A and B are shown apart, each in its own frame.
Chain A
Amino acid sequence: MNRYEKVGLTKEEYKRIVEGLNREPNDLELSMFGVLWSEHCSYKNSRALLKLFNTKGERVLQGPGENAGAVDIGDDLAVVFKIESHNHPSALEPYQGAATGVGGILRDIFTMGARPIANLNSIRFGHLNDERNKRLLKGVVNGIGNYGNSVGIPTVAGETVFDDCYSDNPLVNAMSVGIIRKDKLKRAIAQGVGNSVILVGHTTGRDGIGGASFASCNLTEESEAMRSAVQVGDPFMEKLLLEACLELMDKEYVVAVQDLGAAGLTSSSCEMALRGGCGIKIDVSKVVTREENMLPEEIMISESQERMLFVVKKGYEEEILKVFKKWNLNAAVIGEIIDDKNLTVTAGDKVVGCVPVELLGDGAKATLRSYRRPKYLDELHLDIDSLKRVEDLNDALIKVLKSENIASKEWVYRQYDYMVRTNTIVRPGGDAAVVAVEGTDKALSLTVDCNSRYCYLDPYEGAKIAVCEAARNIAATGATPIAITDCLNFANPEDEEVYYTFRQAILGITEASKVLNTPVVSGNVSFYNESNKTRIYPTPTIGMVGLLEDKNKACTIDFKELGDSVILVGE
């Protein structure tokens, strides 16, 4: 195997790196390119198409591109939200995979300065007659519950779906929603030569090394052997990190904040510098490590959880360290902003790597892949008249109610603390959840939806239907839909037929979101959800936020009184 293949790069990509650097990259640099140019970090297969989304609207304060999107809800407040996948880790270790998924999305919200007020999740498995699927479901629900419950953020809504196509590739999409005063929105833009870079939160270990590139490969027997790819979450640490960060967020000396997700220190430092058009210098010897003798490259790409990167004005480092100390968290000054546009990595005084920020962060070519209408679409047809007549309707009704996809999901959501912080007006079990916005008369209505079978049958219409279903759920609580976030779960994009469904789904979402005036403000793409046996249905999960001006008017789904009229509306 070639050097570049080991880190998941192609020959062509390697050539571009050598040209960009004017030399061969050393091992550290190559690893950084490997993780950042992976699909998971670079969105190289989706970026070009994501541009098609409808992202503008009078309420939009922050569209896609930041840690999370932000939308104006009046009263000087903004709602900040995003959805994210943690599919592959959850297939390997359902409990930790799902838990760290929740941890990651929460950090995306509070890096923007917002206090998370609610979590949602969309989870999909193979049918429950299989013991493994049952274990996956139990582990995932346990992981989502435990993490959210411990941090003290109510998990208020979601969806739980079963289909054979998810047997080898369960889907775990986690969404989080936060509130912030709109003038306090933080952005992750590194600025100001000489300003300090501070790493805070958990210690850095070898766990999760290679996680990002891992998330971009097909699930094969080999990945089962890539042991270190699983990370362990520590919700307790996250809770402390959340409180400490929010305590600092409105300080004027905090220039920028970014959480460490996929590709760890490499991606966070590079992205921040890229947005700020500056350079950044990191001294790995200053990083507080959990294990001895960690190599610079291990430190740079570790995916240890519950960590954040701060850029602060020179001279204010102590202020930051003091707050983190109070919360019993690590914090160390590990670098500074520099004026050349490089990411320079040192170990003490010795430079161990130096690459242009632009090449590393933006050099992975956005490819518009070729696509082809899948053959199966032409083969699908059903003659309704050929179906057998249902004789016993009672029996049929019971069968429908008993089926996994229709049956009550109380077993799931009862394991989530959906009431903590006493703002939950409409609880899970209805169409959408409603959560009060403290200090106002307003409430937010929240839901996630996708019928992936429809998307399989017609990716364009199916995606439109997902957006519309979400909007109906919101409307049914009395709220007005205002914006969406999306999680595009698909199979291998290098397959032209898969790429076709991906493209169609984006066009469908775009169309529906224009008509409903619910712009896309954030989202996530997860490819390679397939095994050598199965391929998931196209699954563009839609997370939607609605606004209710008067929280006392929230509607619930239950029939209220004997004698009330029941009216069916719509087409």
Chain B
Amino acid sequence: MKAGVIVFPGSNCDIDAYKVLEKLNVEVKYIWHDEKIDDEDLIVLPGGFSYGDYLRCGAIARFAKALENINEHIEKGKLVLGICNGFQILTELKALPGALLRNKNLNFICSDCNLIVENTDTPFTNLFKKGDIVNFPIAHGEGNYYIDDEGLGELIKNNQIVFRYQNNPNGSVADIAGIVNKRGNVLGMMPHPERAQDKLLGGEDGLVFFKSVIAYFKEV
């Protein structure tokens, strides 16, 4: 399995994502925003403030050269993981439905965060059990997931909700913390599994998440 972490100007969790993949012996490389993606099995859009997050989070990053072929990539069934800013970019790209608004309390929130695993039938969560509680930290100012009722109905019907907040920190519709596309190969989430990679730093639930991806590729 090969992985690529896209580095936009302003990305700042690129290193953390790289670190966790490297730790799990995945062949991983950085992809600069104006290079093209290759045949990586997993593309990570990391957290941060791409292009300063000016205008709207992820709005400008969506046009980066590295994302030009992202749709073909997705169609081929390769995996795309958007964490935090990456999730925002994926909604701007329309690779995932909905939008991320400012946190309800209007403040940036950095803290530990318990999530309920809703869907274990994805390449990212196959090592969890449905209903598992995991702690992935959050750190965002605009993580308030919005989708209209119709869209929400679709998400539920297709089992696209992957993680929900145990205590909704930001006002997200239906406590949604992470969703996949219909096919299940694109995941966007506000919490940071890559930050939960070491007991010394507060937990390692994130390792299970990334090991799921590795397990998925062992299967196929």
Contact = CB atoms under 8 A, between A and B. Distances in A.
Nearest to B139: A417
Contact of B110 (A142, A236, A416): A416
Nearest to A425: B200
A419 B137 contact: yes
A417 B201 contact: no
Interface in A524-571: 551-552, 554
B210 interface: no
Interface string B166-203: 00000000000000000000000000101101101110
Contacts of B9: 236, 239-240, 327-328
A151 B12 contact: yes
Nearest to B107: A415
B49 A150 contact: yes
Interface string B104-120: 00011111000000000
Interface stretch (B50-58, B75-83, B127-135): B50-58
A152 interface: yes
B104 to A, nearest CB: 14
Interface stretch (B13-21, B63-71, B88-96, B152-160): B13-21
Contact of A235 (B13, B52, B201): B52
A422 interface: yes
B189 to A, nearest CB: 16
B10 interface: yes
Contact of B10 (A150, A413, A418, A424): A150
Interface residues of A, number: 33
Given A235-B52, A236-B52, A420 B12 contact: yes
B123 interface: no
Given A419-B195, A422-B19, A425-B200, A414 B109 contact: yes
Given A149-B49, A236-B52, A418 B200 contact: no
B195 A236 contact: no
A236 B51 contact: yes
B48 interface: yes
Contacts of A145: 108
Interface string B27-69: 0000000000000000000011101111000000000000000
A420 B107 CA distance: 17
Given A151-B12, A419-B137, A414 B52 contact: no
A421 interface: yes
B16 A420 contact: yes
A235 B52 CA distance: 7
Contacts of B19: 422
Contacts of A551: 200
A402 B133 CA distance: 33
A423 B139 CA distance: 15
B12 A239 contact: yes
B200 A152 contact: no
A551 B201 CA distance: 11
B201 A422 contact: yes
B201 A236 contact: no
A234 interface: yes
A54 interface: no
B5 to A, nearest CB: 14
Contact of B49 (A235, A422, A436): A235
Contacts of B11: 152
Contacts of A436: 200-201
B197 A422 contact: yes
A239 B8 CA distance: 11
B52 A150 contact: yes
B11 to A, nearest CB: 8
A146 interface: yes
B10 A414 contact: no
Interface string A511-523: 0000000000000
Contact of B12 (A152, A424, A425): A152
A414 to B, nearest CB: 6
Nearest to A410: B111
Given A239-B10, A327-B9, A422 B198 contact: yes
A330 B218 CA distance: 47
Nearest to B12: A152
Contacts of B110: 413-419
A119 B54 CA distance: 23
A422 B203 CA distance: 11
B135 to A, nearest CB: 12
B217 to A, nearest CB: 24
A423 B52 contact: no
A436 B202 CA distance: 13
Interface string A134-153: 00000000100110011110
Interface in A400-445: 413-425, 427, 436
Contacts of A413: 110
A234 B53 CA distance: 11
B139 A419 contact: yes
A415 B139 CA distance: 8
A235 B108 CA distance: 16
Q: Which of A145, A152, A421, A427 has the most chain B CB atoms closer than 10 A to its own CB?
A: A152
A422 B194 contact: yes
A415 B192 CA distance: 16
A421 B192 CA distance: 11
A237 B49 CA distance: 11
Contacts of A427: 202
A234 B51 CA distance: 11
Interface of B: 9-13, 15-16, 19, 47-49, 51-54, 107-111, 137, 139, 141, 192, 194-195, 197-198, 200-202
Given A149-B141, A414-B111, 12 more contacts: A149-B139, A150-B12, A152-B48, A235-B49, A236-B51, A236-B54, A328-B9, A414-B107, A416-B108, A422-B16, A422-B194, A436-B200
Q: Considering the complex of A and B, which 7 residue pairs feature the smallest CB-CB distances, nearest first? A: A152-B12, A236-B52, A150-B49, A417-B139, A415-B108, A422-B16, A417-B110
25 contacts: A149-B139, A150-B10, A150-B12, A151-B12, A234-B52, A235-B52, A236-B51, A236-B54, A237-B52, A414-B111, A415-B107, A415-B109, A416-B108, A417-B139, A418-B110, A420-B13, A420-B16, A420-B139, A422-B15, A422-B19, A422-B195, A422-B198, A423-B201, A427-B202, A436-B201
